[in-house]
Chain A
Amino acid sequence: MRDAADFVSRHRVAAVVLVLIAFPWVMPYEALAVNILIFGLFAVGFNLLFGYTGMLSFGHAAFLGSGSYFAGMAIVHGGWPWYAAIAAGTLGAAAIGLLIGFLAIRARGIYFAMVTLALAQCVYYIFYQADRWTGGENGLRGVRVGAIKVFGVELNFVDPLTKYYIVLAFVALALWFVSRVLASPFGAVLEAVRENEQRAAACGYDVPRTRLVVFVLSAGICGLAGTLRALHLSVVPIESLHYLTSGQAVMMCLLGGMGTFFGPFVGAAVFLYLEDVVTTWTRHWMLVVGSVFIVFVLFFPRGIWGSILHWMRRRGA
């Protein structure tokens, strides 16, 4: 079992992508699968900051949301091609990450959480007020992407399965990037900073700068998830910037297992699947999902995937 666990960790990107290729066939419908892909990536971006560097942000909706808005505005107002909109949204979110990060990284613990929350609320307010550009409380409508050409092949983005695989291509690329970062010397520094900031600084690492770089990376990944969401939904709801969306990133990450590569994806899948199933029985789905969340936090603090990994390693050891 330990070998199996090690094998999966060594080829973690390939393993995730293989699972995700088969994924739409086990889901009740493709739109849910696409949603899970997008929120999975959102949670992975959040986990880079929270799970690997130990910085609990309560403002990550700012990056998902601004990524969505920038991509949406590029298409709606600028008439940009879809891929340019994705690039614009990702970079725009990273730029907002740089700004928020610059102001927030010196705070620690609960103060860091509060500063990120407050700044994300500012972002919400700005996009809400700029209704000529963003549609204000109605959200930004008309982010339409139809037939697209990829390397000379015409694909129909409206077809749900095609859309799933196009989104998956971007998610896979982002996962590969995150995996490389985590395996890199910089990834080692992130863990060192998480484990003991004082020691990391004494070892010669510039802790504030490390925190800022990872904050911007995290914002960019979450922004990419946001751009994909704008293309998927064809609208950008103002709720994407709401603090409840930030809370979802925290919940998905904890539910799946913070600080594990696959965990945030598992968390996103379970969260959204439960939401989808439970809403067909009752309006109070939050109550059910919330209870599941509490059970996990209390009895399986490693999260679903974290507990599975722990169990596999223990069996093998």
Chain B
Amino acid sequence: MTPALLAAEGIGMRYGNFLALNQVSVSFARNTLTAIIGPNGAGKSTFFNVLSGALRPSTGRVMFEGRDITGDPQHAFARMGIAKSFQITNVFPRLSTHENVRVAVQMLSTRFDLLTPRESLTAVTAQADQLLETVGLADARRRPAADLAHGQQRCLEIALALACAPKLLLLDEPTAGMSPEETVAMMDLILTLAAERTVILVEHKMKLVMGICQRVIVLHHGELLAEGTPAEVRANAEVKRVYLGQGV
């Protein structure tokens, strides 16, 4: 078996006396689409934040491509190819949609270049256009991000995450607050993206992900309740109990 792209080893997260995560160990193989599900308050976002470098776990390690990256600074994650979209929309509100993506793409080629004009980085501009095309925002390129509809902002966030050409894409409830049509479009987009890279998707609506992911991880009260293929997880008695009455 090839080593996992990302592995969480015995992750624990403590907020004061409250244990939000307890000994969670999972690994994620390359080029798979994994969903992390669980009821609200299960610890999904906390786990997501540990995996994406926003939070340093109280115990345990995060390994990426065999290297311990626990506690590395946030900006190092994008540079090694781990990108994320946040549960709450997180874009550059007063910059144009295009500039949002352009500045994100630019990171790979330059970070402290003070004297070249931005426009001269034509490859960066082209790449940004390409990404806007991918997420379906080409027509909105000149509008400030703050003026976009909620669903469009969610798509912009995906484009921002894709800008660093990530090997691993982490998405925290990307369909939160979306209309049913937007949700379907977003799920299609995620499937397309997952064809070429590893994707970890956090979602509390179980039904949404069962059809598209190869693996499901279920968190409950900060603990790993179950993991396996969607069929296995669906058949799991524990999971049924937690999601009782929700029509798994």
Query: Is A199 touching B91 in the complex (CB atoms < 8 A)?
Result: yes
A205 adjacent to chain B (CB < 8 Å)? yes
Chain B positions within 8 Å of A181 at CB level: 114-115
Total chain B interface residues with beta-carbon distance under 8 A: 38
Q: Name, among A189, A196, A198, A204, the residue most crowded by chain B CB atoms within 10 Å (CB to CB).
A: A204
Query: Is B117 touching A184 in the complex (CB atoms < 8 A)?
Result: yes
B116 adjacent to chain A (CB < 8 Å)? yes
Query: Is B112 touching A186 in the complex (CB atoms < 8 A)?
Result: yes
Query: Is A188 touching B107 in the complex (CB atoms < 8 A)?
Result: no
Chain A positions within 8 Å of B58 at CB level: none
Query: Is A202 touching B84 in the complex (CB atoms < 8 A)?
Result: yes
Give chain B nearest CB distance to A302 CB in angstroms: 13
Which residue of B90, B113, B161 contacts A185 across the interface (Cβ within 8 Å)? Answer: B113
Query: Is B107 touching A191 in the complex (CB atoms < 8 A)?
Result: no
Q: How far is the CA of A213 from the CA of B114 in the complex (A)?
A: 10
Binary B-proximity of A202-233 (CB < 8 A = 1, otherwise 0): 11111100000100000000000000000000
Answer whether A195 and B92 are a contact pair too, CB < 8 Å, given A201-B74, A203-B107, A206-B73: yes
Query: Is B112 touching A191 in the complex (CB atoms < 8 A)?
Result: no
| A184: nearest chain-B partner, CB-CB | B114
B79 adjacent to chain A (CB < 8 Å)? yes
| B80: nearest chain-A partner, CB-CB | A204
B interface secondary structure, majority: loop
B67 adjacent to chain A (CB < 8 Å)? no
A187 adjacent to chain B (CB < 8 Å)? yes
B118 adjacent to chain A (CB < 8 Å)? yes
Q: How far is the CA of A186 from the CA of B113 in the complex (A)?
A: 6
Query: Is A185 touching B116 in the complex (CB atoms < 8 A)?
Result: yes
Within 8 A of A (CB), among B117-167: 117-118, 121, 160-161, 163-164
Query: Is B163 touching A203 in the complex (CB atoms < 8 A)?
Result: yes
A180 adjacent to chain B (CB < 8 Å)? yes
Q: Could you list 11 A-B pairs, sorted by A, with CB under 8 Å? A: A184-B114, A185-B106, A185-B116, A188-B99, A189-B103, A189-B111, A199-B91, A202-B52, A202-B86, A204-B107, A204-B111
A-B pairs with the 6 shortest C-beta distances?
A204-B78, A195-B92, A204-B107, A201-B74, A203-B104, A188-B103
Please name 11 further chain A to chain B contacts, defined as beta carbons within 8 Å, in addition to the given A181-B114, A198-B90, A203-B163, sorted by A numbering.
A180-B117, A183-B117, A185-B110, A185-B121, A191-B92, A192-B92, A198-B86, A202-B86, A204-B107, A206-B73, A206-B75
